[in-house]
Amino acid sequence: DIVMTQGALPNPVPSGESVSITCRSSKSLLYSDGKTYLNWYLQRPGQSPQLLIYWMSTRASGVSDRFSGSGSGTDFTLKISGVEAEDVGVYYCQQGLEFPLTFGSGTKLEIK
């Protein structure tokens, strides 16, 4: 199975500051079609996860442009430019390259 490893944040983060959340996969997620099958989700407290970024860098419909995704085949970053109160929650990366699809253990964001 592909193992997804996420980094931690120095919580709490001051409102307005920019943060980067890291994720590493145990295998390259770059496929022969040119897409990198890495997705990002935010799970706010008490809610279902919501899609933020898919194919490593494509923002999902309705997602603020404060969120951006980047990376290589195995190392990925979700950047939040100017965190706001509504960004609080747990962020998960997930690989969509091969079965079983797997998630990282999550990165918690708290706002000061």
- Report the interface residues with other proteins, using CB under 8 A: 37, 39, 41, 48-51, 54-55, 60-61, 92, 94, 96, 99-106
Nearer to other proteins, 22 or 102 (CB): 102
Query: Which tokens belong to 57?
Result: 């860098």
Of residues 97, 99, 91, the one with CA closest to residue 20: 91
For 11-35, letters b (16+ CB in 10 Å) and e give: eebeeeeebebbbbbeeebbeeeee
Nearer to other proteins, 14 or 34 (CB): 34
In the complex, the smallest distance separating the C-beta of residue 92 from other proteins, rounded to whole angstroms, is 6
In the complex, the smallest distance separating the C-beta of residue 91 from other proteins, rounded to whole angstroms, is 11
In the complex, the smallest distance separating the C-beta of residue 21 from other proteins, rounded to whole angstroms, is 14
Query: Which tokens belong to 38?
Result: 């890495």
DSSP letter assigned to residue 12? S
Nearer to other proteins, 13 or 37 (CB): 37
In the complex, the smallest distance separating the C-beta of residue 77 from other proteins, rounded to whole angstroms, is 17
Decide if 4 contacts 22 (C-beta within 8 A). no
Nearer to other proteins, 14 or 61 (CB): 61
> How far is 107 from 19, CA to CA, in rounded Å?
12
